């Protein structure tokens, strides 16, 4: 059974700094791994999707990496802004299976 | 990008009543949709997989008679929480797959008094 963990549970960073969010998973036979953003009481916004054959994906100030052998993924946010404050979730999809196993999330606060 | 619409966004109901939540794929057909539940300060947990034209597949520990799922068309899945109780209060969210990605609705906050 896939288990996904995110550390830390909460993170506060001054505006402008670069930061890294961590995600680990127990079953390396994943189909893909996604990073989402969730704002309070709202749905999920997909940020980046990394296929199992890929090692990283970039979108603007965001860069996500995937290391299946170590069961880890990271989300790098450059030049953080107050608008980046949200909960960030990673989720793994097992091979051939669209069902997602979500991590526990990291609640990010960017301090102006 | 693909759009998944979920309605209502918030519902407050009395204990014992039933609540229906709709999930629609607006610009694509989805033979499979997924329903998740999120309790406060916890992550999303998959409840069930909704299959168009057939019975839903429920995850372990989810009561199929309490959480009725109907996927009658390729663009609509509904989740009905029957005889809701306060412990059913949660954030419910659906998703639908298109290509290699999954797209999520905006979620429904259910509060049972």
Q: Which chain A residues touch B24 with a CB distance below 8 Å?
A: none
**Residue A52 near residue A30 (C-beta atoms within 8 A):** yes
**Residue A61 near residue A54 (C-beta atoms within 8 A):** no
pLDDT of residue B80 exceeding 80, the answer is: yes
A98 vs B103: CB contact, 8 Å cut-off?
A: no
> Regarding predicted confidence, which is higher, A99 or B90?
B90
Nearest to A24 by CA among A78, A87, A101: A101
pLDDT tens digit sequence for A61-89: 999 999 999 999 999 999 999 999 999 99
pLDDT at B83: 96
Query: Residue with structure tokens 């839903």?
Result: B56
- Chain A: closest CA distance from residue B12 (Å): 14
State the DSSP H helix or E strand holding residue A6, giving kind and residue range, or none if neither.
strand A4-7
pLDDT at A9: 93
A100 vs B106: CB contact, 8 Å cut-off?
A: no
Residues 34-53 of A with CB under 8 A from B: 34, 36, 41-44, 46, 49, 51
pLDDT of residue B72 exceeding 70, the answer is: yes
**Residue B22 near residue B7 (C-beta atoms within 8 A):** yes
Question: Among B102, B106, B108, which would you mutate to test the A interface (most chain A Cβ atoms within 10 Å of its Cβ)?
Answer: B102
**Phi, psi for B87 (deg, rounded to 5):** -70, -10
B97 vs A104: CB contact, 8 Å cut-off?
A: no
Closest CA in chain A for residue B43: A104
pLDDT at B2: 65
Task: Specify the 3-state DSSP secondary structure of B108.
Answer: strand
pLDDT at A97: 59
Mean of the pLDDT values across residues A92-104? Answer: 81
User: In terms of DSSP bridges, do strands A19-25 and A4-7 run parallel, antiparallel, or are they unpaired?
Assistant: antiparallel
Region for residue A28 given its phi and psi (left: phi exceeds 0; alpha: psi -120 to 50; beta: otherwise): alpha
A104 vs B101: CB contact, 8 Å cut-off?
A: no
pLDDT at B52: 87
Whole-angstrom CA distances from A13 to A58, A62, A81, B41 are 21, 16, 10, 21
Q: B43: pLDDT confidence band, cut at 50, 70 and 90?
A: confident
Q: Which of A75-84, A90-99, B6-15, B76-85 has the lowest mean pLDDT?
A: A90-99
B102 vs A42: CB contact, 8 Å cut-off?
A: no
pLDDT tens digit sequence for A5-46: 999 999 999 999 999 999 999 998 898 899 999 987 778 888
Q: Which chain B residues touch A23 with a CB distance below 8 Å?
A: none
**Residue A77 near residue A61 (C-beta atoms within 8 A):** yes
pLDDT at A75: 98
Q: Where are the beta strands (DSSP E) in chain A?
A: 4-7, 10-14, 19-25, 30-38, 44-51, 56-59, 62-67, 72-77, 86-94, 100-102, 106-111
- Chain B: closest CA distance from residue A49 (Å): 8
A102 vs B97: CB contact, 8 Å cut-off?
A: no
């Amino acid at each position: 059974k896939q288990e996904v963990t995110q550390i830390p549970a909460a993170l506060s960073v001054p505006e402008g700094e670069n930061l890294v969010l961590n995600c680990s998973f127990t079953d390396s036979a994943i189909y893909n791994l996604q990073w989402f953003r969730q704002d309070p009481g709202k749905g999920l916004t997909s940020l980046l999707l990394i296929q199992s054959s890929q090692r990283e994906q970039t979108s603007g100030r965001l860069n996500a990496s995937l290391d299946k052998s170590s069961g880890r993924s990271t989300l790098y946010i450059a030049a953080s802004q107050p608008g980046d404050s949200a909960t960030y979730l990673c989720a793994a999809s097992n091979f051939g299976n669209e069902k997602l196993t979500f991590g526990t999330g990291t609640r990010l606060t960017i301090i102006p | 990008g693909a759009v998944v619409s979920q309605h209502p966004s918030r519902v407050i109901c009395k204990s014992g009543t039933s609540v229906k939540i709709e999930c629609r794929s607006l610009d694509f057909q989805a033979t499979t949709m997924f329903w998740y539940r999120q309790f406060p300060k916890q992550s999303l947990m998959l409840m069930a997989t909704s299959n168009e034209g057939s019975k839903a597949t429920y995850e372990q520990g989810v009561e199929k008679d309490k959480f009725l799922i109907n996927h009658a068309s390729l663009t609509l899945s509904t989740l009905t929480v029957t005889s809701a109780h306060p412990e059913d209060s949660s954030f419910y969210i659906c998703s639908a797959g298109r290509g290699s990605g999954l797209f999520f609705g905006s979620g429904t906050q259910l509060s049972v008094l």
